[in-house]
Structure 1
Amino acid sequence: MPAQKTRKTQTRDVEIRKELSPEQREELLRTLRARFEKNMNRHKGLEWAKVQARLEANPEKLWSLHEMERTDGEPDVVGHDKKTGEYTFCDCSAESPKGRRSVCYDREALEARKEHKPKTSALEMATGMGIEILSEEQYRELQALGDFDTKTSSWVKTPSDIRALGGALFCDRRYGHVFTYHNGAESYYAARAFRGSLKV
């Protein structure tokens, strides 16, 4: 019985950690609203009040947005699905999020490194935050809204056939153009993180 209680307590602790305090929630909503109103070109015709109503109805999404904010992603609304009512948030920091750099692509790549292993991987981190790493197509759609990653780069979702051969894709913007490149999935760099998206 004691072991069972311990497991339940651990589960409850995990759940508690995924809830923001009222103060954190209010501060996050203020930050998101200010960014939303400052960058209307990213979401023309949308209203903050409706976005906030969706957020307040989905507190677990607020926790994920808080994680995006905490790791310097500067999330903002970049899309709206009229059929489902969902809003899409994306990391809109000028450069690849500082709090997520120096990570390899995925767990398999992390385990393949024999030495100098990074702390974690992009896919693991995204899963832990409750967000999806951007695909190359989504990355290019984001770049249509501004100039991102002009000094850094971001891992993007890699097709399974490329990953099966040991590679992974990343993107950046240089010389006014968006480029896609490849690296060994186990590589990591101080100027490379990943960008994520979240539907609310």
Structure 2
Amino acid sequence: MKKAAGKKLAAGPQQELLDILEKRFKKNMTRHKGIEWEKVLAKLEKEPAKLWSLNEMEMTEGEPDVIGFDKKTGEYMFCDCSPESPKGRRSVSYDPEAVISRKEAKPRHSAVGMADEMGIGLMTEEEYRALQELGKFDQKTSSWVLTPANIRKLGGAIFCDRRYEHIFTYHNGAESYYAARGFRGMLRV
């Protein structure tokens, strides 16, 4: 997540993004009960690189929104709240190593690589399950989630989706990619 350090939006695009985020925040108050927009805004204005990352999430159709506050770190948690896995982040393998290892029909990118360039992290399985308690996500698509090192070492990666009113976790080869599989990002501000 280091690649976003030092990047920032110009004043016009920054204000446009803040307007979008505020409108989404106020429209979806059930995602962040007890959190005030003014406090979120104050944190965002102090961290231009995080605003740049949120803009990247927005530009790839992730519809980022606040989903919680970490009392231990004092950070607001933003994640992609688009109904389906973000359109601009689909058809990617799990990580850069998976792209390299694929012999034919290589994907254009990887979830881990793209997240790193955007300055965000992949959601963990636990974060993904917590998001699903706030709404119904990935009913037609699926999303790569952060894979434990022991699974990745053996060539696998995990992804999740919602089907039949249940949250499923599956595995696949890390080099696989599908038109309906992308990833959801997490950003702490």
Q: TM-score, normalised by structure 1?
A: 0.91
- How far apart are residue 16 of structure 1 and its match? 10
Residues 34-49 of structure 1: matches in 2 within 5 Å?
34-49=23-38
Contact 2:4-2:52 at 8 Å conserved across structures:
no
| Corresponding position of 1:144 | 133
Q: 1:104 aligns with which of 93, 96, 100?
A: 93
Partner of 2:14: 25
Structure 2 segments unaligned to the other structure (5+ residues):
none
Gaps of 5+ in 1: 1-13
Q: Which has the higher helix share?
A: 1
What amino acid maps onto 1:191 in structure 2? A
Q: In the alignment, residue 170 of structure 1 is paired with which amino acid?
A: F
For residue 37 of structure 1, what is the amino acid of its counterpart?
A: K
Structure showing greater Rg: 1
Q: Name which of 84, 87, 91 aligns with 2:80.
A: 91
Match of 1:135 in 2: 124
In 2, the alpha carbon distance for the partners of 1:68 and 1:62 equals 10
User: CA offset at residue 83 of structure 1?
Assistant: 3.8
Distance 1:177 1:83 in 2: 30
Which structure has more relative contact order (CA 8 Å, sep 6+)? It is 2
My pick for the range that moved more, 111-120 or 147-156, is: 111-120
Q: Does 1:54 align with 2:43?
A: yes
Q: Aligned partners of 2:28, 2:5: CA distance in 1, in Å?
A: 33
User: How big is the shift at 1:17?
Assistant: 8.4
Q: Distance in 1 between matches of 2:5 and 2:180?
A: 33
Q: How much does 1:161 deviate?
A: 1.1
TM-score, structure 2 as length reference: 0.96
How many pairs does the alignment contain? Answer: 187
